[in-house]
A and B are shown apart, each in its own frame.
Chain A
Amino acid sequence: MEKFRKPTRTGVPGGIFARDYNDSLKNLVLSQDLEANLQQIKAILDKCSDVIYREFVFAQNEEIRLALIYIEGLADPGQISDQIIRALSLEVPMAVPGQEITKARALEFIKQRGLCIHQLKETYKLQDIIHAILSGDTVLLVDGHAVALVNGARGWEARPLSDSETEPTVRGPRESFAETLRVNTALIRRKIKSPNLKIEALRLGEVSDTDVALVYIEGIVNEKLVTEVKSRLEKINIDAILESGYIEELIEDNPWSLFPTVNHTGKPDRLAAMLLEGRVAILVDGTPVALTVPNLFVEYLQAPEDYYQRFLFASAVRLIRFASMIISLMLPSLYIAVLSFHHELLPTPLLLGMAARREVVPFPVFFEVLITEIAFEVLREAGNHLPRPIGQGISIGAALVLGVVAVQAGFIAASTVIVVVFAGIASLVFANSAGMAFRLLRFALMVLSGTLGLVGMISGAAFIAIHMCTLRSFGVPYLSPLAPIASTDLADVVSRAPWWAMLSRPRLMTGQNQQRQGRGLKPTSPEKTSKGRR
């Protein structure tokens, strides 16, 4: 058998076709002849039926021929016809009466006064021109000049900003990221109006040529972390990045682990909070979520809402989340272990009651729970992919009908349904990628407790704990600040410390500038302070 080889990030044998194509473009430049330029571009964009070539002449001097190239659907037709074509072919003479514009001066004039476009760039490289056209910019070629003007008149049909569906909140901002990169960076910029908020641009994917942005706050972030993230991103050599999940899998520390070590969020406010704690975010064009690193496990037990609500209540909610995590992982296996190996652990009346009801059930507890768990997962998966109104209806109906009928028919015991459904709902408390890890591990623990009882279950749990201790996300221990204990950071993990007590940023993450706020912010009533002064 051929030895299994780890896929390497660099050095795809033979190279990707797009690289050769890009290399062939690299050295091409424009010529002074408009016809020749158009021919060249048309040759490259051959059989691309969505590319529009619009040739027209300059209003005052018909010898000056112009050509617009853009992609229908990506460029804004309103801006193109009003601000470019109308401005150049009709209105210029009125703006400068009696002034002669020669072919030689045409470019300078168009650049300075002719175009009413907010964003204008110049380039003479064919590669940049093609990239601009494909990104939705409009390229203007002027006869007699070996330079193209790139107009930033983008405008395509995009989903409007909407409420966050994956991370809904009761209190707090509701907006969520959209698919357009620029919109998303603007959303972050609106939260953090600091020149230290850096948004570095990268392009990944040889064929898809996807825009990627690296976002961090200089002065808070650990410089080494930024370098590390950049170097991992630069190693990526793939044909396309269609979703941030591609990047996540290509940069994570522990590719074989069930636990995700790159977090993601769709909410600008949560992302801003993460940046302020010294994390680095990676935004991918076309993806309405941002990746954040380093990722700590405790992030999955925190919600943005915790920080907007009163801290005592938020702390209580955190305890509930923590308990749900344990329940979702262990409850079914505990049930199996107790019913198949350790009957003596149940109080006698309860044991007798359960035994009486389980008498008709034909399966061992392990199979009973396993079947019910699988049924639950099937319903959940089905509910995920159906259109929302139908999905909810079907999953509720199926759950009710199936559950009730299965119990009545004596296939499964009522207590099994209770346990499985409770554990399933508990796992919804943190329904995200870490929750998926626990969903799978629950089955592993069930097998262990079905074979070795409580000992198997505890061993499995210890194994999971040890595994989580081995994980690191960009150098930061995954379980910090729980293990290793960082006492100052613990206040924001087991409870939600009040804002006036959260003096420092997470220690293992930020390299410098750990102070979050000034001391003595705890509010006191005015009478008390005046009394104290007297």
Chain B
Amino acid sequence: MLEKGKINSLQAILLMISMILPTAVLSVPAITVKSARQDAWLSIIVATVVGLLIAWLVVTLSLRFPGKTLFEYVEEILGKIPGKIVSFFYIWWFLHMNALVIREYGVFLATAIMPDTPISVFHIVVVVVAAYAVRNGLEVLSRANQLLIPTTVLLATVFILSTGNMKLSRMLPVIDTGLLPIIKGAAAPASWLGEIVTFAMIIPYLNRPREAHRVAALSVLLVSFFLTASILEALLIFGPNLTGAWIFPVFNAVRLISVDNSLGRLEIIIVLAWVLGGFFKVGVFYYAAVLGSAQWLELKDYRPLVLPVGIILVALSILIHEGIVDLFDFLARVWPPYALIVFEAGIPLVLLLVALVRGKGGRKNA
């Protein structure tokens, strides 16, 4: 096997949270509030249901092929050539998504704290740190994540400190514009929660694969919880109009905090949590892309691919969009249907159906 490490269920949950949450907290609130307005929290509930369904789908599919990753069982289900084609698309998807994440990372750091630094510097830094973790394998990636994830607790503290600026009345009226905007608003968070598909690359390395269903569901629920909290953080402070107008509303909401005129400028905590989270978000997709490519090319070791994939990621993340407006327009309008319909729900559903029809995998193999 390419990966010899094993991780436990807690590490898997934390890794999944780090994989989804960092960009979700920053980008999703604005996108969702723009269409669902003050009912954005209802959109998250819809998205959570979708996320849970995708999680169930992926885990059910993966558990039919114990010990195999997505890239290995695709070939078993569809046959060698079609399988290679489908898994090639997944490699592309991991790279594409990761390039977007890296770009968001660079854009955020450049706009928020270091406007004079070229974004490619941030891209290189995040990819180098992630590459170091990826090269050392899944165990190290998840252990380091476990070590650093407590910074998220700081985020919760910051949210609590900002309650002074909140007004509950900004959530009213409920379901004012009808159901359609709510469902439209759910598309973006659902596509983020649907990133749980990547879990298919990690299930074989769980030390208790039986708990995979629980791990996936808990990860989705915890992420939704934090996502709801951050949407409310922005919504209750700014109301739907301002929240929708900003690119990083949560960041701006935290900027307003000032306790006794001395404890202020807490947005640095968001930066801290985001920079650290970014390493692991990029790291997981990076790992999935590298491991997947190695399996696609049928290599014995994935480590030689770490450097080339890293270079591709840095280059792709710079080339992929012209600017920040372009990027966020893509994230709000193109990304959700593209990711959700094709990679997160579509292909796994087809794979499961084909596997059922052709009788591949399942208990008889286990």
The interface of chain A, by Cβ under 8 A from chain B, is: 341-342, 344-347, 452-456, 458-459, 462-463, 465-467, 469-470, 477, 479, 482-485
Contacts of A466 in B (CB 8 A): 129, 132-133, 136, 140, 144
B42 nearest CB across to chain A (Å): 35
Cα A145 to Cα B114 in complex, Å, equals: 89
A344 B265 Cβ-Cβ under 8 A? yes
Given contacts A452-B125, A484-B146, A485-B10, contact A458 B262 (CB under 8 A): no
B268 contacts chain A at the CB level, 8 A cutoff: yes
Interface residues of B in 72-115 (CB under 8 A from A): 109, 113-114
Given contacts A344-B265, A347-B262, contact A470 B136 (CB under 8 A): yes
Query: Which residues from chain B sit less than 8 Å from chain A, CB to CB?
Result: 7-8, 10-11, 109, 113-114, 117, 121-122, 125-126, 128-129, 132-133, 136, 140, 143-144, 146-148, 261-262, 264-265, 268, 271-272, 275-276, 279
Once A455-B114, A462-B276 are accepted as A-B contacts, the answer to whether A485 and B146 lie under 8 Å apart by CB is yes
CB-based contact B275/A459 at 8 Å: yes
A465 touches B264 (CB 8 A): no
Q: Which residues of A contact B276 (CB under 8 A)?
A: 458, 462
Question: What is the bound-complex CA distance between A246 and B146, given in angstroms?
Answer: 35
Contacting residues, chain A, for B125 (C-beta < 8 A)? 452, 455-456, 459
**Once bound together, how far apart are the Cα atoms of A469 and B128, in whole Å?**
16
Q: In whole angstroms, how far apart are the Cα atoms of A470 and B140 in the complex?
A: 6
A463 to B279, CA, bound (A): 10
Chain A, residue nearest B137 (CB): A470
Minimum C-beta distance from A162 to chain B (A): 40
Asked whether, in the complex, the Cβ of A482 is within 8 Å of the Cβ of B122, the reply is no
Question: Which residues of chain A come closer than 8 Å to B7, judged between CB atoms?
Answer: 484
B114 touches A463 (CB 8 A): no
| Minimum Cβ distance to chain A for residue B130 (Å) | 9
- Across the interface, do A484 and B114 meet the contact criterion of CB distance under 8 Å? no
Please provide the 6 A-B residue pairs with the shortest distance between their CB atoms, ordered closest to farther.
A483-B143, A483-B147, A469-B143, A466-B144, A469-B144, A470-B136
In the bound complex, residues from chain A placing their C-beta under 8 Å from that of B271 are 454-455
Known A-B contacts A479-B143, A483-B143, A485-B10; A455 and B132 likewise in contact (beta carbons under 8 Å)? no
Is there an interface contact between A484 and B11, defined as CB atoms closer than 8 Å? Answer: yes
User: Residues of B contacting A346 with CB < 8 Å?
Assistant: 265
Q: How far is the CA of A335 from the CA of B268 in the complex (A)?
A: 14
Asked whether, in the complex, the Cβ of A455 is within 8 Å of the Cβ of B11, the reply is no
- A483 engages B117 (CB within 8 Å): no
Q: How far is the CA of A485 from the CA of B271 in the complex (A)?
A: 26
Query: Are B140's CB and A342's CB within 8 A?
Result: no
- Chain A residues within 8 Å of B11, by CB: 484
User: From residue A327, how far is it (CB to closest CB) to chain B in Å?
Assistant: 16
Specify which chain A residues have a CB less than 8 angstroms from the CB of B132 in the assembled complex. Answer: 463, 466-467
- Expressed in whole angstroms, the Cα–Cα distance for A345 and B271 within the complex equals 12
- Residues of chain B within 8 A (CB-CB) of A341 are 113-114
Give the chain A neighbours of B136 by CB distance below 8 A.
466, 469-470
Check if B143 sits within 8 Å of A462, measured CB to CB: no
Task: Judge whether B129 and A483 touch: CB under 8 Å.
Answer: no
CB-CB under 8 A from B268, the residues of chain A are 342, 345, 454
Partner of A345, one of B10, B126, B262, B265: B265
Assess whether A453 is in contact with B114, with CB atoms less than 8 Å apart: yes
Q: With both chains docked as a complex, state the minimum distance between the C-beta of B125 and any C-beta of chain A, in angstroms.
A: 5
How far, in whole Å, are A453 and B268 apart by their CA atoms in the complex?
Answer: 12
Quick one: which of B128, B129, B143, B279 contacts A477, CB cutoff 8 A?
A: B143
In the complex, how many angstroms separate the beta carbon of B31 from the nearest chain A beta carbon?
A: 25
The one of A345, A347, A482 that contacts B147, using a Cβ cutoff of 8 Å = A482
**Would A462 and B146 be within 8 Å (CB), given that A452-B121, A455-B275 are in contact?**
no
Minimum CB–CB distance for B306 against chain A, Å: 13
Q: Which residue on A lies nearest to B273, using beta carbons?
A: A458
Which residue on A lies nearest to B261, using beta carbons? Answer: A347
- Alpha-carbon gap, A462 to B22, bound state (A): 16
Residues of A within 8 A of B143 (CB): 469, 477, 479, 483-484
Q: Assuming A470-B136, A484-B143, is B113 touching A342 (CB within 8 A)? A: yes
Alpha-carbon separation in the docked complex, A454 to B126 (Å): 13
Instruction: For the complex formed, measure the closest distance between the CB of A89 and the CB atoms of chain B, giving whole angstroms.
Output: 71
Chain A residues whose C-beta falls within 8 Å of the C-beta of B146 in the assembled complex:
483-485
B117 and A452 within 8 A (CB):
yes
A33 to chain B, nearest CB (A): 65
Given contacts A463-B132, A466-B144, A469-B140, 6 further A-B contacts (CB under 8 A): A345-B265, A455-B109, A462-B275, A465-B144, A466-B140, A479-B143
CB of A116 to closest CB in B, whole Å: 62
* A458/B272 in contact, CB under 8 A: yes
A479 to B139, CA, bound (A): 12
Which B residue sits closest to A487, measured CB to CB? B10
Q: Which residues of B contact A484 (CB under 8 A)?
A: 7-8, 11, 143, 146
A456 to B122, CA, bound (A): 9
B8 CB to nearest A CB, Å:
7
Inter-chain contacts of A483 with B (CB < 8 A): 143-144, 146-147
Once bound together, how far apart are the Cα atoms of A465 and B144, in whole Å?
6
**Is there contact, CB below 8 Å, between A462 and B148?**
yes
A181 to B246, CA, bound (A): 71
A454–B147 CB distance below 8 A: no
Instruction: Give Cα A484 to B132, complex, Å.
Output: 18
CA distance A456 to B275 in the complex (A): 10
CB<8 Å pairs between A and B, sample of 12: A345-B265, A347-B264, A454-B113, A454-B272, A455-B109, A455-B125, A459-B128, A459-B129, A466-B132, A466-B144, A469-B133, A484-B146
**Chain B: minimal CB distance from A70 (Å):** 56
Residues of chain A within 8 A of B275, CB atoms compared: 454-455, 458-459, 462
Q: With A and B bound together, what is the CA distance between A462 and B128 in angstroms?
A: 11
Contacts of A463 in B (CB 8 A): 129, 132
In the docked arrangement, what's the CA distance between A462 and B113, Å?
A: 19
A453 contacts B113, C-beta separation under 8 Å:
yes
- Bound together, the chains give a CA A456 to CA B117 distance in angstroms of 12
Please, how many angstroms separate the alpha-carbon atoms of A345 and B133 in the complex? 30
**CA of A168 to CA of B248 in the docked complex: distance in angstroms?**
53
Instruction: Report B-chain residues with C-beta under 8 Å of the C-beta of A456.
Output: 125
| Beta-carbon contact of B262 and A465 below 8 Å | no
Docked Cα-Cα span, A455 to B272, in Å, equals 8
A-side contacts of B8, CB under 8 Å: 484
Complex: how many Å from CA A458 to CA B11? 22
A470 CA to B133 CA, complexed, in Å: 9
In this complex, what residue of B is CB-closest to A345? B265
Give the Cβ gap from A259 to chain B, nearest Cβ, in Å: 14
In the bound complex, residues from chain B placing their C-beta under 8 Å from that of A342 are: 113, 268
With a cutoff of 8 Å between Cβ atoms, the chain B residues found around residue A345 in the complex are: 265, 268
Q: How far in angstroms is the closest Cβ of chain B from A470?
A: 5
With A462-B279, A465-B144, A483-B147 as given contacts, are A455 and B264 in contact (CB-CB < 8 Å)?
Answer: no
Of all chain A residues, the one with the shortest Cβ separation from B14 is A485
> What separation, in Å, do the CA atoms of A454 and B271 have in the docked complex?
9
Kindly state the separation between the CA atoms of A455 and B276 in the bound complex, as whole angstroms: 9
Do A479 and B147 have beta carbons less than 8 Å apart?
A: yes
Q: How far is the CA of A463 from the CA of B276 in the complex (A)?
A: 10
Closest chain B residue to A477, Cβ basis: B143
Chain B minimum-CB-distance residue to A453: B114
Bound-state CA distance A463–B130 (Å) is: 9
Residue of B113, B146, B147, B279 ringed by the most chain A CB atoms within 10 A: B147
A470 / chain B contacts, CB cutoff of 8 Å: 136, 140
Q: Bound complex: CA of A148 vs CA of B95, how far in Å?
A: 78
CA distance A463 to B125 in the complex (A): 10
Instruction: Report Cα–Cα, A485/B15, bound state, in Å.
Output: 14
- Bound-state CA distance A470–B139 (Å) is 9
